[in-house]
Amino acid sequence: KNEVEQSPQNLTAQEGEFITINCSYSVGISALHWLQQHPGGGIVSLFMLSSGKKKHGRLIATINIQEKHSSLHITASHPRDSAVYICAAGLNSGGSNYKLTFGKGTLLTVNP
């Protein structure tokens, strides 16, 4: 069983819709990362959070440490938001020893 589970695997939306992608993890973490990957491979770090909520433009990330669950929301979705969204659990195994474990990703397609 993967330590980081994402849902849904695929998501198709119409432009303007509110999008939610969920991430559950089974281990204690130091931080939870949300990443965006466009076709071609490059990965962009969207958020790194260890508690509460962060907002950047139309993107909002929340985390519930007790429930080991995080969500990524996109408000007023746009075709340019089409990408793979990946959550990653950051595990600190002592000192500055830090390792990311990734979910399988959610392929988001936003149609005009």
Partner 1 sequence: KAGVTQTPRYLIKTRGQQVTLSCSPISGHRSVSWYQQTPGQGLQFLFEYFSETQRNKGNFPGRFSGRQFSNSRSEMNVSTLELGDSALYLCASSLWGVTEAFFGQGTRLTVV
Give whichever of 58 and 104 is closer to partner 1, judged by the CB atom.
104
* Binding status of residue 33 toward partner 1 by CB under 8 A: yes
Q: How far apart are CA 111 and CA 45, in angstroms?
A: 24
Whether omega for the bond prior to residue 79 falls within 30 degrees of 0, making it cis, is no
Rg of the chain taking only CA atoms, in angstroms: 14
Q: Are strands 83-92 and 31-37 parallel, antiparallel or unpaired?
A: antiparallel
Give whichever of 38 and 78 is closer to partner 1, judged by the CB atom.
38
User: Candidates 13-21, 64-72, 73-81, 92-100 — which segment interacts with partner 1 by CB under 8 A?
Assistant: 92-100
Local structure of residue 41 (DSSP, 8 states): S
In 3D space, the residue among 49, 57, 56 whose CA is nearest the CA of residue 23 turns out to be: 49
Closest approach of partner 1 to the CB of residue 2, in Å: 9
Among 11, 13, 86, 89, binds partner 1 (CB under 8 A): 86
* Binding status of residue 92 toward partner 1 by CB under 8 A: yes
Q: How far apart are CA 40 and CA 81, in angstroms?
A: 15
Closest approach of partner 1 to the CB of residue 76, in Å: 25
- Binding-site ranges for partner 1 (CB under 8 A): 30-31, 33, 35, 40-45, 48, 86, 88, 90, 92-93, 95-105
